[in-house]
Amino acid sequence: MNQLKPLSTHVALVTGAGRGIGAAVSRTIAELGAALVMTGRTRQSLEATAAALAPSGSAIDVIPCDIQDLRSVEDLASQVEQKHGRLDILVNNSGVGVFGRPLHQLAPGDWDRVLNTNLRGVYHMIRSFAPKMIAARSGHIINISSLAGKNPVPNGAAYAASKWGLNGLSYSVAEELRGYGIRVSVVCPGSVDTDLSPHEGKDKSRMLKPEDVAHIVEMLVTQAPESFVSEVLIRPTQKP
């Protein structure tokens, strides 16, 4: 193994890779040497981020996909299979939120968009990619959740529900897959300075940065093979 590029024999896929946490995670994984598949709904932002990662020297593919749509995810899986024949690391990062309204005032379409992206989308990804990892008897699945999956979020109930659900999904799938050598981890950051987070009344200089989450992903995918970290909670040093 190349000590400077410990993931040089790996293929990784990051959802929501065009900006925010996904872009930071993609940068870290590329710097660690993995062949990288970047996916998300907007080709323009994916390609801009991929261009910025070119100096890493890693092979980078941009494949737009809507994880809410199972057929779109299955097409993504087919393209990854044809190009690489394997997947070693899956980072389920895509997420959306609707804040500022109590649940009884939330439009059904907003509920569907949040749950279908943050929870159903992860199911689609695991359903489509876990069989390849099972066949290889190895792999990492890292689900980017939130401390909103641990705490009440008034006026953000749909987002909280999706993240509580994602945590439960992650713990359960970890038990389903650990016998195949697949390590499933869930990462729960507090407020991160991205476009998703509601920033009203918060000091952005004290918020977590996308790179803080990417650092945790690096720790998870480079840990020794005889163990795995099932859950990581990340909080800023100072409350924002």
Catalytic residues: 159
How far, in Å, CA of 76 to CA of 80, rounded? 6
Q: Is 117 in contact with 96 (CB distance < 8 Å)?
A: yes
Q: Amino acid identity, residue 7?
A: L
- CA nearest to 87, candidates 54, 61, 64: 61
Three-class secondary structure assignment of 112-180: HHHHHHHHHHHHHHHHHHHHHHHHHCCEEEEEECCHHHCCCCCCCHHHHHHHHHHHHHHHHHHHHHHHH
* Residue of 40, 42, 62 lying closest to 50 (CA atoms): 62
Euclidean distance between CA atoms 165 and 206, whole angstroms: 28
d(CA 214, CA 193): 13
Q: Which of 15, 60, 52, 14 is nearest to 33 (CA)?
A: 60
